[in-house]
Structure 1
């Protein structure tokens, strides 16, 4: 798939329409950081402020049991298509649906909730609104469930970081997204999207805060290669925000 180039003269509305078209035609789309920032109406330094929430994540004990160093939190929101209204739902266990992540199908996993400051952050609120608009290109559901997962994958000289230890997979939703918030001392972490029969559709490395990869999870599968430290004397970090949308 050829990655569409960014035209700095286009309005945010036109940029969202371009993403809509790519999702419908190709099943996946890479929104470069400059486009994401424009669509969200943010200043570039907003990503540095937003990234501080990743210092308050908790250890993912389920990943640790499989030898993966990962930190995360979790939240569940509603999104009303007609109005764009969002609401935080009560915290419950996270369960992946059938025909999705093979490591955790049917497993109830309990994660620490999103912090109040994260939920109230204007960057997060803008991201949720943007992704809700993109989801409506794929389905005409009146109300959507949005599952929100801030992740930090940690790598060291003795252990690669595994963003997707399950390999290439589906999440069992309609829209899946991965927003890069930051990378430190990290090599690798290449994202790939393939068709149902494994046909490569898109391969990229999210490098700039604001790089956003979105996909139609019903038509595609996705995975991320291991992360390694550039300087092997220091840990490597890959901070992303994964948000999925499915009809409520």
Structure 2
């Protein structure tokens, strides 16, 4: 008996964008291999994200706040945090009341059971249509991994900064899980940066993939139940200027 997933047919380049169907495609790949890299061009085409809408979405990263917990460990990072409930039947994501972020048990070793108070997502970010397109896509993919109607999506916009002699650490905890069903990292922008390579392995350390998200819209999605992930340090390409890496990390777990 062959238990391997059937190959996913290539998308029709002339078809209308359908993020829900695209989420099904992602789920099929994740069931087969545990992780998937979506090139930026494919992400924008399959979600129908127009350049003007993307530019407006990226401007939210200019309004992030310092992360004092990362600073205490020597990492210069800006971020905000928010959570949504996602209904797999309606495809609707609704913001929840803002609460401290608590890392799930047996996941990130640096912050287990630590209540971290981050600045909330701005009202404009909460309502941004690009964010809701991304959550709809990822929610559909999560439902393809586990059949639940209601999900809790946690949303973290990050900016990691680096300067000469002060490397930025996107994941100071090293290789880790987030303790959820689905984890994702969407590159929003990067400037004057070297490094920042994402690596995904199985729980036993065997390799799945390594990639550097370089183009805005490149997306890395993983089945967090069976994989570990981490990102290498960031350094300036031109030592006379700082480096930055802007990403949106979103996770899904059953509500």
- TM-score, length-scaled by structure 2: 0.92
- Alignment gaps of 5+ in structure 2: 1-7
Give the deviation of 1:84 after TM superposition: 0.8
Query: Please, which of 9, 13, 16 is the counterpart of residue 13 of structure 2?
Result: 9
Query: Please, which of 126, 136, 142 is the counterpart of residue 129 of structure 1?
Result: 136
Give the deviation of 1:120 after TM superposition: 1.2
CA contact (8 A) 1:180 1:207 kept: yes
CA contact (8 A) 1:183 1:207 kept: yes
Give the deviation of 1:10 after TM superposition: 6.6
Q: Which residue of structure 1 aligns with residue 69 of structure 2?
A: 62
Q: Which residue of structure 1 aligns with residue 161 of structure 2?
A: 154
Q: Which residue of structure 1 aligns with residue 150 of structure 2?
A: 143
1:99-158 deviation line (CA, Å, top 9, x unaligned): 100000010000000000111111111111111111111111110000000000000002
Q: Which residue of structure 2 aligns with residue 97 of structure 1?
A: 104
Q: Which residue of structure 1 aligns with residue 49 of structure 2?
A: 42
CA distance in 1, matches of 2:174, 2:52: 33
Q: What is the root-mean-square deviation in Å for CA atoms of aligned residues?
A: 1.6
CA contact (8 A) 2:103 2:111 kept: yes
Does residue 172 (structure 1) correspond to residue 169 (structure 2)? The answer is no
Does residue 234 (structure 1) correspond to residue 238 (structure 2)? The answer is no
CA distance in 1, matches of 2:53, 2:93: 21
SS of the residue 2:144 aligns to: coil
The correspondence of residues 73-84 of structure 1 with structure 2, limited to 5 A, is: 73-84=80-91
Query: Please, which of 11, 21, 26 is the counterpart of residue 28 of structure 2?
Result: 21
Q: How many residue pairs are counted as aligned between the two chains?
A: 245
CA contact (8 A) 1:39 1:130 kept: no
Q: Which residue of structure 1 aligns with residue 37 of structure 2?
A: 30
- Which piece of structure 1 moves more, 181-190 or 18-27? 18-27
CA distance in 2, matches of 1:64, 1:8: 46
- TM-score, length-scaled by structure 1: 0.95
- Alignment gaps of 5+ in structure 1: none
CA distance in 2, matches of 1:213, 1:123: 17
Q: Which residue of structure 2 aligns with residue 192 of structure 1?
A: 199
